[in-house]
Structure 1
């Protein structure tokens, strides 16, 4: 599970205070089931106590919906008196906060119960449990990299509060064009991207590439792969915070909403995974571009679990706006080599770097739950030696009928009826997650949208 911190207390705290002698406060942060960072800000004098004793936060934090309201059906609120649990520092995560006008720090927490056991509803521990099974059952170490797309948007909203692309700081014109991989778009926002890179360096987040994506104001900052899946997800969570905060400093907002615009590309999160054996060899390497039997078994498991994992890959109502034909968003479990029309892609490259790119999730996903679901599917396929069938050749949209759940309700029902994912996530976690999301969906369903007014107000 996520490690205790007692053994490395002095070095980390002392090093921080030496590097940031003017720091007065530290943000204690923990991601909830939606990946939203929650926690508290404490005075610097408290940080030693936090490292030694932890800090109390209520378990209902993991019953919070996207708006921070506790879904009582999770059983984590009034039913247990909104009881506190103990949060402890994740080692190696105490860093400075370069975007803040005053010197301060931040540190990541994970939650434990009062007996010191990992708290069942914390997504970090869900992932840790699956990683333990890889080591115990297979002797493999997952190597993970996370790619997230996002939009920069103007703080001034359009009609009815809709987002609009930002005004270029170079040309003074509002972004209107789609220039995928465009270098001019990188140049226009080089100051923003440079500050993101500087913040990542200061916080030891291995960001290595920035590209313009498929819509005005859409970008992707890639993270370097690591043989520590928990660290890979931590990097993704903290990179989101950096991007949002740096964008604000540059007079913009940044959104990881899956589909902020009707007619433009959505934003996805792609996970790259390979597996190393005890000798450090990539077990996906094989005689040709399609890799080894081990790779194919892993793909077979990912295909077998994809439908019941959709509520984790696409966690809210807006997530499902992204799933459209011919949009580079997969609609069915399928795999291929060097083909972005499928859910599972084997990227081109040298054999020693053979890996799977999982392309289903939106940018609104919790990286810990996404990676946990991906690794659960792979573990299932490897232990059951599942056959994925033949790879797709050409355009998957033209050959395969959509079969992934395409609405929030269908995805939640698929998870509720799941037989594989609960074995990895735990029945108790799945129950809490479903209760949280059903409550959020019910509240969302009561909302009357501007489109309903436009279509029905004077027509019916």
Structure 2
């Protein structure tokens, strides 16, 4: 037996196996820079050895693009001979999966070098660095992500485009924007019930379900966590749950940021606050409406670093289609109170729950890297006591011209991220190199692809 650097112990596996004799296999999952779960399915008898000695996985698993192709510029492929490193279980992440036949469990992994030091192109380790840095400053982040997604038909419409899924209850269809319609939710209740049941089995407190601002779009909120790593785990696990349960009900769960051009895209808003050593929220003002300097400096740091961080929040070609005026997606680094047209929103409510809602990220972003970058931005603002500037009190889209610029497209965002000293420090040198190299490779793939739009615009006209 080798001591696990993650803190996992064989006792956890032994207790789980004893409590779940029905489980025959386990999905072991490591998340890459795109937030994609990579790993294996192992049999029941293999679980204990994984806890005892870890599991060798190729280093290249963290150097893959969105298609699963090697990106040599990450330095994680032939530069290191595509050797194996060792993945170890994340303590407390061993769970049973809901409604799988035969019964299966799931276990999250994190990558370490063979000597037990953290492998620094693993997104979890990047987030842990920021959590540890805040802890050294006497602060502890808490937060939760919101999950927006579409439920789509497995078949395309007559125009070849995606279309909303029919209700799994009775097959009824709707192409309306059923925003906040409770009756509309009833048609998907069998699916939603399975999502809630699966979340409960996974130890995830999934809360409010909403019919969102597009046909077939929904939002599921998550319980606020005092551990932001757990909040990021919750989000990625919930995406996997929604995808699996939707598939079992004959529909497709879509986590693209902008799957339908005429309607709102899907965000992944991150609610975050800071606690001191006594558990007190340091964003709370002494008198309601007289903003706490700590909160203001945090906002200032997030505004100042948003432009060079946008690649983390909008990592894919499709991500950039989400940003449009009056679309509920922010187009500039504005801040305001109880205002959904801004990028950094202070929600209304009890001041004891004072927090920042960070709105730029799409649901296609990696929550570990989003949380890493947001926490680093907050630390930057606190360290340099950055003034956030005036609050946006009206239409944030109208005020966008008076705010610091942010990239307007994917290519510009890649260039900004590559040249950002802030982002390199936030993610760490290795994670920064890995992430930006993968994004550059994906951009090149898209740029050289001849699409149907090209043929439609130019085939018979130029």
TM-score by length of 1: 0.97
CA distance in 2 between counterparts of 1:65 and 1:390 reads 40
Q: Residue 294 of structure 1 corresponds to which residue in structure 2?
A: 294
Do the aligned partners of 1:289 and 1:351 also contact (CA within 8 Å) in 2? no
Do the aligned partners of 1:290 and 1:337 also contact (CA within 8 Å) in 2? no
SS in 1 for 2:115: coil
CA distance in 1 between counterparts of 2:123 and 2:423 reads 14
Do the aligned partners of 1:153 and 1:163 also contact (CA within 8 Å) in 2? yes
Q: Residue 345 of structure 1 corresponds to which residue in structure 2?
A: 345
Q: Residue 438 of structure 2 corresponds to which residue in structure 1?
A: 436
Q: What is the aligned counterpart of 2:423 among 416, 421, 424?
A: 421
SS in 2 for 1:126: helix
For 1:77-226, list aligned pairs within 5 A: 77-136=77-136, 138-159=137-158, 161-170=160-169, 172-226=171-225
CA distance in 2 between counterparts of 1:373 and 1:251 reads 37
Per-residue CA deviations over 1:308-349 (Å, capped at 9, x if unaligned) read 110110001000000001111111111000000000000001
- Whether 1:76 and 2:76 are equivalent positions in the alignment is yes
What are structure 1's unaligned runs of at least 5 residues? none
Do the aligned partners of 2:134 and 2:379 also contact (CA within 8 Å) in 1? yes
Do the aligned partners of 1:58 and 1:84 also contact (CA within 8 Å) in 2? yes
SS in 2 for 1:336: strand
SS in 2 for 1:257: coil
SS in 1 for 2:307: coil
Q: Residue 388 of structure 1 corresponds to which residue in structure 2?
A: 388
CA distance in 1 between counterparts of 2:9 and 2:79 reads 37
Do the aligned partners of 1:26 and 1:107 also contact (CA within 8 Å) in 2? yes
CA distance in 2 between counterparts of 1:352 and 1:25 reads 44
Q: Residue 285 of structure 1 corresponds to which residue in structure 2?
A: 284
Do the aligned partners of 1:147 and 1:270 also contact (CA within 8 Å) in 2? yes
Please tell me the root mean square deviation across aligned C-alpha atoms, in Å: 1.4
Q: Residue 9 of structure 1 corresponds to which residue in structure 2?
A: 10
Q: Residue 20 of structure 2 corresponds to which residue in structure 1?
A: 20
Q: Residue 333 of structure 1 corresponds to which residue in structure 2?
A: 333
CA distance in 2 between counterparts of 1:242 and 1:160 reads 30
Give the C-alpha shift of residue 174 in structure 1.
Answer: 2.4
Q: Residue 46 of structure 1 corresponds to which residue in structure 2?
A: 46
How many aligned positions are there?
456
Give the C-alpha shift of residue 429 in structure 1.
Answer: 1.7
SS in 2 for 1:406: coil
CA distance in 1 between counterparts of 2:283 and 2:24 reads 48
Do the aligned partners of 1:206 and 1:223 also contact (CA within 8 Å) in 2? yes
Do the aligned partners of 2:346 and 2:356 also contact (CA within 8 Å) in 1? yes
CA distance in 1 between counterparts of 2:72 and 2:5 reads 30
Do the aligned partners of 1:169 and 1:188 also contact (CA within 8 Å) in 2? yes
CA distance in 2 between counterparts of 1:290 and 1:84 reads 54
Give the C-alpha shift of residue 131 in structure 1.
Answer: 0.4
Do the aligned partners of 2:306 and 2:333 also contact (CA within 8 Å) in 1? yes
Do the aligned partners of 1:99 and 1:245 also contact (CA within 8 Å) in 2? no
TM-score by length of 2: 0.96
SS in 2 for 1:28: strand
Do the aligned partners of 2:314 and 2:320 also contact (CA within 8 Å) in 1? yes
Per-residue CA deviations over 1:329-379 (Å, capped at 9, x if unaligned) read 111111000000000000001111000000001010001001111111001
- Whether 1:447 and 2:449 are equivalent positions in the alignment is yes
Give the C-alpha shift of residue 81 in structure 1.
Answer: 1.2
SS in 1 for 2:345: strand
CA distance in 2 between counterparts of 1:420 and 1:348 reads 31
Per-residue CA deviations over 1:362-414 (Å, capped at 9, x if unaligned) read 01000100111111100111111111011111101112227321211000111
CA distance in 1 between counterparts of 2:321 and 2:376 reads 26
Q: Residue 320 of structure 1 corresponds to which residue in structure 2?
A: 320
Give the C-alpha shift of residue 291 in structure 1.
Answer: 3.3
Q: Residue 63 of structure 2 corresponds to which residue in structure 1?
A: 63
Do the aligned partners of 1:150 and 1:267 also contact (CA within 8 Å) in 2? yes
CA distance in 1 between counterparts of 2:8 and 2:269 reads 35
